[in-house]
Amino acid sequence: DQQVKQNSPSLSVQEGRISILNCDYTNSMFDYFLWYKKYPAEGPTFLISISSIKDKNEDGRFTVFLNKSAKHLSLHIVPSQPGDSAVYFCAASVMSGTGTASKLTFGTGTRLQVTL
Amino acid sequence: DGGITQSPKYLFRKEGQNVTLSCEQNLNHDAMYWYRQDPGQGLRLIYYSQIVNDFQKGDIAEGYSVSREKKESFPLTVTSAQKNPTAFYLCATQRWQGGGYGYTFGSGTRLTVV
């Protein structure tokens, strides 16, 4: 059962425009969400995160929006740059009651291509 | 400079052989994880360890084994029982990053069965 879903395997956007990557989840217990960026043959790198007490978090060109009622989050990249071309994974976790670390569940990824 | 070292970067295995993938960290993080990446399937959890001398199976543990004898090291053995071992393997540690726990990943090991 895929608890975190990225329904768009790929996305192509022109340089300078907005890129919007979407992610849906089914487990209502998830309360912390992250986006990772991955280049081929490299490990993913952390991009931005949001906890369930917020609905928006912004870091430079990257903004993550969380809609808890719809169990949906999105990553906005504005403006998009050629170096943003990569695979983007969303991930979710459930914070344990003791505040200890818990595993992340990943989506299948969206390949973003930023064209000139 | 702190980080996670995965070795080797590329590994070739013959049918029926066991191979061990190394993951070493100097970040002093307690929790460590192994994932595999296959095209179109995202990252799937193989094994994880929250503390030394303890580990748990993930979603696809069959055909794999791990050990956690020291904090810095979490090696993954791909056994001959793993029917489709060709994949990109990622090791990660977990840390508090404000608001929740996130991962730091190694650079990965590409395993190919020949």
The pLDDT value given to residue B101:
87
Nearest chain B residue (CA) to A47? B102
pLDDT band at A96 (very low <50, low <70, confident <90, very high): low
Cross-chain Cβ contact A44/B104 below 8 Å? no
The pLDDT value given to residue B95:
86
Tell whether the model's pLDDT for residue A97 goes beyond 70: no
**Vertex B73: Cα angle to B72 and B75 (nearest 5):** 165
Contact call for residues B104 and A46 (beta carbons, < 8 A): yes
3-state secondary structure string, chain B? CCCEEEECCEEEECCCCCEEEEEEECCCCCCEEEEEEECCCEEEEEEEEEECCEEEECCCCCCEEECCCECCECCEEECCCCCCCCEEEEEEEEEECCCCEEEEECCCEEEEEC
Tell whether the model's pLDDT for residue B87 goes beyond 90: yes
The pLDDT value given to residue A64:
98
pLDDT tens column, B2-34? 699 999 999 999 988 999 999 999 999 999 999
A82 CB neighbour count, 10 Å cutoff: 10
What does the alpha-carbon distance between residue A24 and residue A5 come to, in Å, rounded to a whole number?
Answer: 5
pLDDT tens column, A41-86? 899 999 999 999 999 999 999 999 999 999 999 999 999 999 999 9
B11 touches chain A (CB under 8 A): no
Once rounded to an integer, what is the mean pLDDT over residues B43-69? 95
Nearest chain A residue (CA) to B109? A41
For residue A30, which residues of chain B lie inside 8 Å, CB to CB? none
Residue B64's closest CA among B42, B41, B87? Answer: B87
Cross-chain Cβ contact A104/B102 below 8 Å? yes
Range name among A6-20, A43-57, B65-79, B86-100 with the lowest pLDDT average: B86-100
For residue B104, which residues of chain A lie inside 8 Å, CB to CB? 46
The pLDDT value given to residue B2:
67
The phi-psi region of residue B73 (left if phi > 0; otherwise alpha if psi is between -120 and 50; otherwise beta) is: beta
Tell whether the model's pLDDT for residue A99 goes beyond 70: no
pLDDT band at A98 (very low <50, low <70, confident <90, very high): low
Tell whether the model's pLDDT for residue A34 goes beyond 80: yes
The pLDDT value given to residue B16:
87
Question: Half-sphere exposure of A43 toward its Cβ, with a 13 Å CA cutoff?
Answer: 24
Tell whether the model's pLDDT for residue B98 goes beyond 80: no
Once rounded to an integer, what is the mean pLDDT over residues A16-23? 98
What does the alpha-carbon distance between residue B21 and residue B90 come to, in Å, rounded to a whole number?
Answer: 10
- Residue B80 to chain A, least CA–CA distance (Å): 24
